[in-house]
Structure 1
């Protein structure tokens, strides 16, 4: 089973569920309560719009338990001092890996929280999550040529620019090494 929570130093990255997406789409007044986090003033961010939410809900509904973790993830800034636990971004995958182990990913940080390295940390957490599945061999991400911040985030996480796609967006890729299995490590001493 795929882990549905990933931790980074400042973020808890939580896989979307049908209940969370349903609340976000149809009962937004309950969404922060279910999520257990405050919402930024400008939610939702970037390309994470109603159509994306509906797509993820449809895929989770159709795929059942096997779809969990292969679509949207919420980036929650851990509570610190006067700052409550807050939803700061979203990211995730466009579905399970193809036969070659390739997965496309995307991400966006709410404007209120940009410029603090949280996008870099979110992508690092998603890379960690992909490795933890043991099924992903390559990650692909796209960004607009003018989005220099997104390009820096990808480069900081080991992605390499490999040209443009058919829509003239920049394409980035990186290899993913499967995470070491702790049980295997214990048995082998490595």
Structure 2
């Protein structure tokens, strides 16, 4: 089974569920209660729009338990001092990896939380999740030429530019070492 929660130093990454996505789309007053976190005023950010939420919900509904963890993820800033646990961004996979182990990720951070390294940490958490599945061997991400912060986040996580797509977006790729292989390599060192 794929882990549905991942921790980074400042973030808790939580896999989207049908209940969370349904609340986010149709009962937004219940969404923060189910999530157990405060919401930023400008939610949802960037790529995490109604279209993405609807897609994730459709995929989770069609795929059942085997789809869990392969679509949207919520990035929650851990509570610290007087600051409560807060939803700061979203990201995730666009589905399970293909037969060659290739999966695509996307990420967005709410405007008030940008510039603090949280996007870099969010992508690092998604890399950790990809490795933990043991199924992902390569990750791809896309961004626009104008989105320099996203390019910086990807580069900071070891992604390399690999050209452009037919629609003009930049393509970035990165190899993933499955967690079991990494553990075997460390044990043999």
Q: Which bin holds the TM-score, normalised by the shorter protein?
A: over 0.9
| Counterpart for residue 168 of structure 1 | 168
Q: Which runs of 5+ in 2 are unaligned?
A: none
- Structure 2 Cα separation of the partners of residues 15 and 44 of structure 1: 16
1:88 corresponding residue in structure 2: 88
Q: Is the alpha carbon distance of 1:19 and 1:145 closer, same or farther for their aligned partners in structure 2, counting shifts above 3 Å?
A: same
Over the residues paired in the alignment, what is the CA RMSD in angstroms?
1.6
Q: How does 1:114-125 map to 2 (within 5 A)?
A: 114-125=114-125
Residues 184 and 13 (structure 1 numbering): CA distance in 2 closer, same or farther, change over 3 Å? same
Cα distance, 1:180–1:21 mapped onto 2, change above 3 Å: same
Paired residues in the alignment total: 188
Q: When the two structures are superposed, what TM-score results if normalisation uses the length of structure 2?
A: 0.96
Q: 1:183 to 1:84 in 2, by over 3 A?
A: same
- Equivalent residue number for residue 100 of structure 1: 100
Counterpart in the other structure of 2:159: 159
Which residue of 2 is the match for residue 46 of structure 1? Answer: 46
2: CA distance between counterparts of 1:67 and 1:59?
A: 7
Paired residue secondary structure (1:180): helix
TM-score normalised to structure 1 length: 0.95
Q: Deviations over 1:8-39 (max 9, x none)?
A: 00000000000000000010000000000000
Gaps of 5+ in 1: none
Q: Secondary structure at 2:126's aligned position in 1?
A: helix
